[in-house]
Amino acid sequence: MNAPTRIGVRELRANLSGLLRKARNGESFIVMSRDVVVAQINPPTPDPAKRRVAGALKGQIWIADDFDSWPDDFLDAMEGN
């Protein structure tokens, strides 16, 4: 992982669109004003709600009819009988 690039406020103002594009593509920036950190720009974190889509695998997954039933001898062994 690379260290964030340090930029000045003047550079931020002059190149805001380009810097935001770079941040969207994974780069981080620390904004400095007179050698003092005033802000940090990081790439966005993935939205967990957008990762999953209900029904996206419909028709692609098969589950056996006896998926949730256990053999009696297995249950007995688990219960210590």
DSSP the chain: -PPPEEEEHHHHHHTHHHHHHHHHTT--EEEEETTEEEEEE-PPPP-HHHH--TTTTTTT----TTTT---HHHHHHHTT-
Structure-model confidence comparison of residues 56 and 21, the more confident one:
21
Enter the pTM of the model.
Answer: 0.55
Structure-model confidence comparison of residues 30 and 67, the more confident one:
30
- Per residue in 1-17, pLDDT (tens digit) is 578 999 999 999 999 99
Q: Are 25 and 43 in contact (CB under 8 A)?
A: yes
All structural domains of the chain with their residue ranges:
1-44
Q: Give the CATH class of 1-44.
A: alpha beta
- Per residue in 22-59, pLDDT (tens digit) is 999 999 999 999 999 999 999 988 877 777 778 888 88
